[in-house]
Chains A and B, each alone.
Chain A
């Protein structure tokens, strides 16, 4: 085949398939600005007769006294706390494993690796019972506290790998200059870890923002609902009547993830390619 034809057929095929790939998302976005009557009557059409933002206004108003703004506020709070917790705990623990010597380190490391692949269902029930005994059901604590306790072992593993790549001579020079262990961590290692910290923050955000199971189990009051739960309530098949606002809020709930993806695409792609982190 001649290279030009080859190139052309490549683009034709890949671009055509790209349309199929993003069609569901485009359809949802278009449906969110369509007049209510058109969403299913002209289901395949991607061009609305007029563009309406009413769906967004009425969706945002939510139901009863609960606006979607509240759910976004809750999600933003939980997600930022989880990211902060993951950054602090994963960097501290990773430094310990990568640079310090202590007894039973190998055993501890083996435990860390084992937990990476542990199905969450196994600990789900006793964790629920534990949080129930602590009186934490219907609070944000079960969603946030685990992140501060190294709850996502993959992040620790990622940071360990990164710190191991930093030359030890830097630590040794700092020791000679009279730096304490914490000083080495804080002043030498941590600033050099920025790329790994960014990766942890992005994945922490992505996973927490659209997490559904944890809030579903622990949060009962509508007041505390995250975006995922609010949307679920909104889209309950037995009660849904307002399709337009439902699509509008679906789009809005995905927006933060899209924005983060577009800005930090490089980190995400690298994070997945090099460590196999699930996106």
Chain B
């Protein structure tokens, strides 16, 4: 009220009056804004950004938690690449795991999602059943279950015996251990399935009708309509599953303990071993940064390539 009456009487005075007021309200606005985001901001600086910088520094040191870190330059990285056979094994195992399990899991998820994209009765119940394995994700119970299921005396072997197939311990056999773990993560295809299903329901029915009128069969429709319309979702699933794949830990740690003969030595398992069994914190930090660079590179490749294969309706489809 006071301010308004001054507008009428003295132009020069309001300028002076309002400026400190807006400055004050600006400050207040910033304080209120930062107050609200402060829990995250404190966490981000103290729990993410700080640790990341610390981890980068530690990767150039020799540190065992007891004595203070000693700077050794790039020695950790040099040792990893030239002097550590298990590091290469871990890389190889993880790449094989990611490049086999992720495409299979997504293909399977898409296949099931297409099956469920119907109005038949009971589809809801089926969807629930197919999703059940995914709820329990990376829990210890699932790992125990898998170990016994594919163990020497487990039901998988008992079943194969009925067909006269020579049985082996799937988990302890170096040739089959990794496949057993790949099967485990494919079995948990529920989340990408639900995301695909939501995407399929968004595709306008008219597209299929028009294509059918033009004489396109189901296969054509799948490759010319379904897949292109789903590319944004395939893209999303691909990025998420790939990142998760590179970080997979529990399955290998509990089902096979990284063995037999390092055949399932996932990168995350080896990193854990270096950091928390051998307490080579500097060495493990270097491993963590290499992992970050690998994941970032693949994410960047997928993002870069996306412009040539991901179809966005709003852009008129390039």
Which residues of A approach B to under 8 Å, CB–CB? 7, 10-11, 13-15, 18, 21-22, 24-25, 27-28, 31, 40, 43-44, 88-89, 92-93, 95-97, 100-103, 105, 108, 111-112, 115, 117-130, 132, 146, 148-151, 153, 156, 181, 185, 206, 209-210, 212-213, 217, 227-229, 231-232, 235, 237, 243, 246-247, 250-251, 253-254, 257-258, 261, 265, 269, 272-274, 276-279
Which of B5-13, B15-23, B133-141 sits within the interface? B133-141
Minimum C-beta distance from B302 to chain A (A): 12
Residue pairs across A and B with Cβ atoms less than 8 A apart, 18 shown, are A22-B133, A27-B145, A28-B141, A44-B155, A101-B29, A117-B299, A121-B268, A121-B288, A124-B288, A125-B288, A126-B55, A130-B54, A153-B40, A213-B250, A278-B244, A279-B131, A279-B135, A279-B190
Are B29's CB and A276's CB within 8 A? no
A105 to B29, CA, bound (A): 12
Are A146's CB and B47's CB within 8 A? yes
Are B120's CB and A119's CB within 8 A? no
* Chain B residues within 8 Å of A153, by CB: 40
Are A111's CB and B289's CB within 8 A? no
With A119-B246, A150-B39, A232-B254 known to touch, is A125 a contact of B281 (CB < 8 Å)?
A: yes
Interface residues of B, CB < 8 Å — how many? 94
Nearest A residue to B153, CB-CB: A40
Are B65's CB and A274's CB within 8 A? no
A94 to B152, CA, bound (A): 51
Minimum C-beta distance from B139 to chain A (A): 4
10 nearest interchain CB pairs? A102-B33, A149-B43, A96-B36, A150-B40, A210-B139, A126-B51, A273-B198, A250-B141, A40-B153, A126-B54
With A24-B133, A100-B33, A123-B52 known to touch, is A253 a contact of B39 (CB < 8 Å)?
A: no
Among A92, A250, A278, contact of B39 (Cβ-Cβ < 8 Å): A92
